[in-house]
Chains A and B, each alone.
Chain A
């Protein structure tokens, strides 16, 4: 290459600036830190939150106790033991004492037994399992119905929005106890008939009450979720990427499901997590009224309700299930709060 004579006073561009970069130059451009995506960022923030992390592990622990431990527990929740009715915690019946003297090992009744001679500890654990199942399934149903309904109303706006939101208002206004009692009664017969069919025998295992409870939750409690999603979508639909997608010829269905709902995933996660404790709350309330899960299957609410009568003499029979409800709701609430702090874009700056 011919050397260009350089005049020190000239403004001429230096040719060196246009030479290929050396290794040294390149090094300065190496990315110092990986760019942090939505999930990574959120998870990192979540893991720093000590309260939320302990709530997360507490939820895991409760799940292990309620879902796995009953399978290995020496008693069954519906197993009635003659002669060991109404035992106090850690007490043994005469039959069991006699067997122990013979050298047999008897697993202690950690929380005593109920009036039918059923081990109370396993009933509380299975009750927790039932309550958690109801809470989780109901929340997923609410998530699906609420988010789709809210997204459609928010996206289209105008008269469609108005009609859809009036429906939400009506459901919001009708007293839920009324609908629950009426639906539970209405659905009982058709559901029992349906569960006789060979393909639906799994329904017998759950009991028609539980199924009708799922239907009630699915029909009634999605309105809150729909309102939240609608307001999010109304903001998001103004974004440039929606305009771009529309310009590229995407239909409303594609925009709603591929762009809008995906973009409020943070809100959806948080709302669903916070929905779980409130579903469990409602389930325990319903079972307390005797409208929830059927006997002999226990739920925390029905156990507490049954214990209410003899509560002066056996307070622990009420406090055990009630305390488990308290712990479950508390840990899910804390987990939801932590997730919101981690994933809600509005709170990022703080």
Chain B
């Protein structure tokens, strides 16, 4: 096990390095630069700015400088937000997205898994069909539609919840629901099919034959085995939820990492792009590693090598 984790960690480092390299060169291939958008910049001023951020040097030199900085834990200075480092900006924006994403994840697991399990236990009955219809329709709703529908119902019509910003606990309700909707229904479908799969297994029949109560057989045998595919899904899901959804952050006007990421790409804030991309990539890689290790704990049949 430790050997496996070490091997995976080295692999992850290589992947992160390649992602950083690729992003750096693709980003610089794109025409335009961070100072083009600003009007009334004299060529001298622009040259001075470029010199300040090292953009006048050859690309390879810029790359080695950036990578050396990165190895020392230095993400560089943001170009657009003067005087603030990339690390500071991420440190401010990430907790906002992570809080909403974390809550959405908990909500999605707490609704999706039971829904799927209940559907599987009532296979072919009314409740099952209802859950199938609900979840199939649920995963066909784009997040901008669900967000605006929520705003329409709860803010415009009922005046119950604030629609913009994050001021108090009530303002978290709608963004969290909007984020949790898709993964919740997706997990319900996943859970239902894997539960049906598990319930047809021989060990379930054995358990029943030796007199284990239905309740115990469900919780000790069925759920534990059926949850495996859901765990696989949780890794990428956690990464995508915690790093912020651009659409939901835009509609609810939340100052999170997702909206920051898109705006730094469009404004060509090179150090910000690199910083957020590496941050997101490492986050995804670490989450996937956690999921694989968690897998081995839940299912002893899986040998990590």
Binding site for B on A (CB under 8 A): 166, 169-170, 172-175, 177-179, 181-183, 185-186, 189, 277, 281, 284-285, 288-289, 301, 304-305, 308, 311-312, 315, 318, 322, 325-327, 329-330, 333-334, 337, 350
Set of chain B residues within 8 Å of A189, measured between Cβ atoms: 31
Q: Can you give 24 contacting A-B residue pairs, CB < 8 Å?
A: A166-B15, A169-B15, A170-B19, A174-B277, A175-B277, A177-B246, A178-B23, A182-B26, A183-B26, A186-B26, A285-B143, A285-B144, A289-B262, A304-B145, A308-B144, A308-B251, A311-B148, A315-B152, A318-B148, A322-B142, A322-B148, A327-B140, A333-B136, A333-B139
Set of chain A residues within 8 Å of B29, measured between Cβ atoms: 182, 186
Contact assessment for A288 and B148 in the assembled complex, using a CB-CB cutoff below 8 Å = no
Known contacts A179-B26, A315-B152, A318-B148; A173/B19 CB under 8 A: yes
Known contacts A170-B18, A173-B285, A174-B22; A288/B262 CB under 8 A: no
Known contacts A186-B30, A289-B262; A174/B281 CB under 8 A: yes
B284 within 8 A of A: yes
In the complex, the number of residue pairs spanning A and B with C-beta atoms less than 8 Å apart equals 106
Set of chain A residues within 8 Å of B276, measured between Cβ atoms: 175
| A282 vs chain B, min Cβ distance (A) | 10
Contact assessment for A174 and B23 in the assembled complex, using a CB-CB cutoff below 8 Å = yes
B55 within 8 A of A: no
How many residues of chain B get a CB closer than 8 Å to chain A's CBs?
A: 42
B156 within 8 A of A: yes
Set of chain A residues within 8 Å of B142, measured between Cβ atoms: 281, 284-285, 288, 301, 304, 322, 325-326, 329
> Per a CB cutoff under 8 Å, which of A181, A315, A318, A334 touches B266?
A181
Contact assessment for A185 and B19 in the assembled complex, using a CB-CB cutoff below 8 Å = no
Set of chain B residues within 8 Å of A337, measured between Cβ atoms: 136
B51 within 8 A of A: no
A166 to B134 alpha-carbon distance, docked (Å): 37
A333 to B243 alpha-carbon distance, docked (Å): 27
Main secondary structure of the interface of B (DSSP, over half): helix
Set of chain B residues within 8 Å of A334, measured between Cβ atoms: 136
Contact assessment for A305 and B15 in the assembled complex, using a CB-CB cutoff below 8 Å = no
Set of chain B residues within 8 Å of A305, measured between Cβ atoms: 144
Residue of B nearest to A322 (CB): B145
B137 within 8 A of A: yes
Contact assessment for B246 and A289 in the assembled complex, using a CB-CB cutoff below 8 Å = yes
> Per a CB cutoff under 8 Å, which of A173, A175, A330 touches B140?
A330
A170 to B265 alpha-carbon distance, docked (Å): 19
A169 to B27 alpha-carbon distance, docked (Å): 20
B48 within 8 A of A: no
Q: What 0/1 readout, one digit per residue, does chain B (258-269) give for beta carbons within 8 Å of chain A? A: 000110011000
Set of chain A residues within 8 Å of B144, measured between Cβ atoms: 285, 288, 304-305, 308, 322
B141 within 8 A of A: yes
Contact assessment for A185 and B145 in the assembled complex, using a CB-CB cutoff below 8 Å = no
Set of chain A residues within 8 Å of B284, measured between Cβ atoms: 172-173
Residue of B nearest to A175 (CB): B280
7 further contact pairs, Cβ within 8 A, besides A311-B152, A326-B145: A173-B281, A175-B281, A178-B23, A182-B30, A301-B142, A311-B148, A330-B136
